[in-house]
Amino acid sequence: MEEEPQTWQELLGKLIAHPQTRARLAEALHLRPITLQRWADGTSWPRNENVRMLLKHFPREHYPLFLRLLAADFPELLREELPDESSFQGIPSEFYARAMSNLALTPPFLYTQTMQDLILQQALQHLDPNQQGLSIRLVVCVPPRAGRKVRSLREIDGLGTPPWPRRTARGALFLGAESLVGYAITHAHACVINSREEVTFYPVNWSEHEHSVAAFPILRRSKAVGGLIVSSAQAYFFTPPLLAVIESYTHLATCIFEAEQSFVSNEIELWVMPPEEQQRPHFEGYNQRVSRKFIEADAKGQYITLQQAHMLVWQDLEDILLEGGTQANVEIPHEQKDEKR
């Protein structure tokens, strides 16, 4: 196993050993490549503004380690640039006890929404105690029809602090391979983009107020249930301690779901979903669609629950958007997927 670099210069030196990375960083920082080499060799020292620019354009997969190593030589600078991490300790044990009590004692018809509210409220208060601008959204896999794979996700809940509204989930909205959370779920690992200027191969569609974003897959016994999307109004919000806390909340969110809501990797093949504005017209009359499902089931002498009726409507809408739209069979090419790994 390759030994981890011990200084930021050593990590920088390893990265710029690749000509493409060296050229890209030099161009982004408006510097000559030899300047980067001098920083890596320790024969020259970057100014604070150079360090800020370097952080903006550093490869995402190495960003957390680079940030940690930089802290040894630029502690004051990083304190200016990053949020206070003093509150980013682990989830309080008292909250775990409360969540387990909810799991044990809440009736089934109340459980899902109660647990969603409990976890999202605690996570939001923990991660953004000073209300500097944070949004947390929960998405799930849309159960496929028989013989099909999971083709889309949907938002089911969300909370935020200003400038976001208190309830951030956009209700009726499908997500797919075009989304950051879709990529995180497909590849079963967290995806973090710490600024709009960051160079990344991850799929991302920036929303209003959003300046950094992280997406985590929610796994149940290694099977995907959905994902958690955390968006910040600040750039460079996602430091390693904070990401560790978010991961803990993601693991706890598994308690929201049942076993039948989870899918192994080969059961998931996300498609590209149309933009939100193209989806909206199809959700008009949603409640009437649900009512018709009960009428149709009754005509066949069948009984369905409200949850089943909603699921059938979501499957119908997914079919309409994917099979009737212009993006019916658009997929990220395999070679592009490989490039993003």
Split into its structural domains, the chain has a count of 2
For residue 318, tell me if it sits in a domain. Answer: no
Largest CA distance in the chain: 81
pLDDT at residue 283, as a whole number? 86
Find, among 154, 148, 201, 195, the residue nearest to 174 by Cα. 154
**Mean pLDDT on 291-300:** 92
More confident site: 326 or 35: 35
Dist. CA 33–CA 51, nearest whole Å: 15
The answer on 237 and 141 residing in a single domain is yes
Find, among 220, 222, 224, the residue nearest to 263 by Cα. 224
Backbone angles phi, psi at 216, to 5 degrees: -120, 135
The answer on 249 and 122 residing in a single domain is yes
| C-alpha pair distances (Å), 330 with each of 254, 267, 273, 337 | 30, 18, 9, 13
The answer on 234 and 105 residing in a single domain is yes
Dist. CA 87–CA 126, nearest whole Å: 7
More confident site: 96 or 75: 96
∠ CA 114-115-119 to the nearest 5 degrees? 120
Find, among 327, 309, 320, the residue nearest to 284 by Cα. 320
Backbone angles phi, psi at 5, to 5 degrees: -60, 145
Summarize pLDDT for 214-257 with one digit per residue, the tens: 999 999 999 999 999 999 998 888 888 889 999 999 999 999 99
Mean pLDDT of the chain: 86
Query: What is the domain-level CATH number for residue 249?
Result: 3.30.450.40
Q: For residue 126, what pLDDT band results from cuts at 50, 70 and 90? A: very high
The answer on 173 and 113 residing in a single domain is yes
pLDDT at residue 169, as a whole number? 66
The pTM (predicted TM-score) of the whole model is 0.71
Q: For residue 199, what pLDDT band results from cuts at 50, 70 and 90? A: confident
Q: For residue 331, what pLDDT band results from cuts at 50, 70 and 90? A: very low
For residue 321, the cross-strand partners are none
For residue 178, tell me if it sits in a domain. Answer: yes
The answer on 99 and 238 residing in a single domain is yes
Q: How many CB atoms lie within 10 A of CB 234?
A: 17
pLDDT at residue 28, as a whole number? 85
- Given 58, 81, 104, the domain boundary residue is 81
For residue 321, tell me if it sits in a domain. Answer: no
Q: Which domain holds residue 65?
A: 8-81
Decide if 246 contacts 228 (C-beta within 8 A): yes
For residue 297, tell me if it sits in a domain. Answer: no
